């Protein structure tokens, strides 16, 4: 059931942000350090990649069908994608223009069309990261500080937001109201020893939390009360993120990093698992067409 398939040895320096896009029957992901956007199509295993002048850290499908909301290193943009490559249609926001050493790192959309995105110091030294809520044109900082803000994801009922500070090896849980207000921040999990560092994560339809272990060579499923109940080893050390996809949302796609691991043949590859549970439908940004701000 847990057979690990290597779908693509993409050699990503820092593979991140896997996003299942049903309309394209494709898994999109990014190579932040390599400034690449990559696409793997499920039906025919077609592989595509594009170089970017400014690295993309995450992208989330827009609910109006017009491309994606994307987090580049320094800004949030409206991005369209074609076989000719990605095109930035308009700037959305630059919430950390005053922090040139920071960049975006990871994001998810909730069922209300809001995007939750974290930032970090690109040099991984300063504790200058934050968590933002993007609701239409409104971009609000909702929590800080973070060394490496990572892996926001939601419980199936949307009432719990999980968010990670990878540098602190800690996953937090928040209560989240229907209006998007956070409260009751608490430590949900701490990683120790050979567990590595908690990185990207996602929830399944039963409430299990799947976490990528950066430096730990595995993904683990945790029950809603924080108990590990399934560990799946992978043939790469730096596991960066995971996302459910496929026609039945029963496939788990896993990204990895090659940075500092040239001795590992499958470091930087894209993997697929069949964990025996289903994921949640991917969230999309926005509920109505948005007014554009030309670049």
Give exposure, 267-277, as e/b (b: 16+ Cβ within 10 Å): bbbbbbbebeb
DSSP string, 64-112: TSS-EEEEESS-EEEEEEETTEEEEEEEEE-TTTT-TTEEEEEEEE-TT
- Assigned token pair, 156: 């199936």
For residues 261, 270, 233, 258, the Cα torsion angle rounded to the nearest 10 degrees is 10
Q: Furthest-apart CA pair in the chain: how many Å?
A: 49
So what CATH class is 5-273?
Answer: mainly beta
- The 10 Å Cβ neighbour count of residue 109 is 24
Give exposure, 73-91, as e/b (b: 16+ Cβ within 10 Å): bbbbbbbebeeeebebbee
Active site residues: 199
Where exactly are the structural domains of the chain? 5-273
> Phi/psi at 23 (nearest 5 deg)?
-65, -25
What pLDDT is recorded for position 133?
A: 98
What pLDDT is recorded for position 82?
A: 85
- Written as tens digits, the pLDDT of the chain (295 aa) is 468 999 999 999 999 999 999 999 999 999 999 999 999 999 999 999 999 999 999 999 999 999 999 999 999 999 999 878 899 999 999 999 999 999 999 999 999 999 999 999 999 999 999 999 999 999 999 999 999 999 999 999 999 999 999 999 999 999 999 999 999 999 999 999 999 999 999 999 999 999 999 999 999 999 999 999 999 999 999 999 999 999 999 999 999 999 989 999 999 999 999 999 999 999 999 964 444 433 3
Long-range contacts of the stretch 75-84 (C-beta < 8 A, 24+)? 76/104, 76/117, 76/134, 76/139, 77/295, 78/290, 78/292, 81/28, 81/37, 81/39, 83/48
For residues 169, 175, 180, 181, the Cα torsion angle rounded to the nearest 10 degrees is -100
> Which pTM was predicted?
0.95
- Assigned token pair, 77: 């943009």
In whole angstroms, what is the distance from residue 184 CA to residue 173 CA? 8
What pLDDT is recorded for position 264?
A: 97
What pLDDT is recorded for position 84?
A: 84
DSSP string, 230-262: EEEE-SSSBEEEEEEESTTS-EEEEEE--TT-T
What pLDDT is recorded for position 287?
A: 66
What pLDDT is recorded for position 294?
A: 37
In whole angstroms, what is the distance from residue 275 CA to residue 253 CA? 10
* Residue whose structure tokens are 């690295």: 55
Residue 118: exposure state from Cβ atoms within 10 A (0-12, 13-18, ≥19): buried
What pLDDT is recorded for position 3?
A: 84
**Measuring CA to CA, which residue among 215, 242, 227, 198 is closest to residue 108?**
242
What pLDDT is recorded for position 2?
A: 63
């Amino acid at each position: 059931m847990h057979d690990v398939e290597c779908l693509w040895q993409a050699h990503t320096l820092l593979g991140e942000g896997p996003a299942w896009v049903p309309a394209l029957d494709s898994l999109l992901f990014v190579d932040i350090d390599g400034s690449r956007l990559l696409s793997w199509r499920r039906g025919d295993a077609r592989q595509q990649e594009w170089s970017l002048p400014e690295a993309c850290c995450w992208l989330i499908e827009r609910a109006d069908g017009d491309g994606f909301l994307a987090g580049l290193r320094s800004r949030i943009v409206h991005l369209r994608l074609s076989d000719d490559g990605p095109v930035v249609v308009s700037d959305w926001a630059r919430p950390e223009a005053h922090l040139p050493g920071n960049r975006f790192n990871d994001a998810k959309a909730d069922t209300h069309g809001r995007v939750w995105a974290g930032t970090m110091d690109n040099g991984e030294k300063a504790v200058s990261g934050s968590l933002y809520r993007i609701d239409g044109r409104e971009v609000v900082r909702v929590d800080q500080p973070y060394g490496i803000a990572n892996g926001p994801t939601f419980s199936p009922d949307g009432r719990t937001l999980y968010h990670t500070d990878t540098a602190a090896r800690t996953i937090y849980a928040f209560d989240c109201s229907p209006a998007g207000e956070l409260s009751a921040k608490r430590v949900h999990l701490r990683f120790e020893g050979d567990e590595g560092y908690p990185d990207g994560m996602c929830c399944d339809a039963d409430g299990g939390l799947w976490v990528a272990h950066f430096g730990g060579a595995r993904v683990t499923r945790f029950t809603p009360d924080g108990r590990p109940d399934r560990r799946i080893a992978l043939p790469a050390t730096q596991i960066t993120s995971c996302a459910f996809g496929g026609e039945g949302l029963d496939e788990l796609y896993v990204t990895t990093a090659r940075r500092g691991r040239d001795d590992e043949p499958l470091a930087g590859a894209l993997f697929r698992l069949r964990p025996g549970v289903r994921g949640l439908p991917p969230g999309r940004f926005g509920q109505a067409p948005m007014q554009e701000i030309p670049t």
